[in-house]
Structure 1
Amino acid sequence: HWNKVSEPAAPTAAPSKIELHFSENLTTQFSGAKLIMTDMPGMPNSPMGVKAAVAAGGDPKTMVITPAAPLTTGTYKVEWRAVSSDTHPITGNFSFKVK
């Protein structure tokens, strides 16, 4: 059974990285995430993807999302997919705001 155990607190200053911690080891080639800006002041064309690198963290239960550029004021959503060694995928998402 999976548990995602952390996500950024909202609202927040712009994070330089977003870490997702899971209760089981990830199979990195099948796990991943997308960072999407869902709203910002004066933004008519939402949502839009944010260029970010997604990689394994310092331990096998962690996924790290590193935006290519500093995040600007707005609302963001992380959509993630995690696959453990038993090959059972789970997906989820969460949102946070940058002030």
Structure 2
Amino acid sequence: MRDLELPKREHALRLQRPNLGCISGINEMNVDMSPLSDVGEAKRDSEGTYRRGFHQAVAMVATALRANPQLSADQLQSWVDGAGSQWRHNLPMDRQIMPPQIP
């Protein structure tokens, strides 16, 4: 039901990038899931957005860990499930709104 509430643009982006890791029998399909493997065609704009977001996410986690070396995976997951999810899904997509601070 939540998918119906997402803006069409975000919903479309999610459908274009399947999660191949959850497919049972992935090894029988001979799909290379190692870093830098090419898993198929992608729309240039969507792929660029995905890569930029992934890269920025890792940079933000590194910054948060430098600021608080005791930061745990549970605290990060709490941010993802709480403030991060609210920021991603509930704020206007036509505005550049900075993400909430990581604890």
The TM-score range, normalised by the shorter chain, is under 0.3
| TM-score, structure 2 as length reference | 0.20
| TM-score, structure 1 as length reference | 0.20
Greater gyration radius: 2
Q: Which has the higher contact order (CA 8 A, sep 6+)?
A: 1
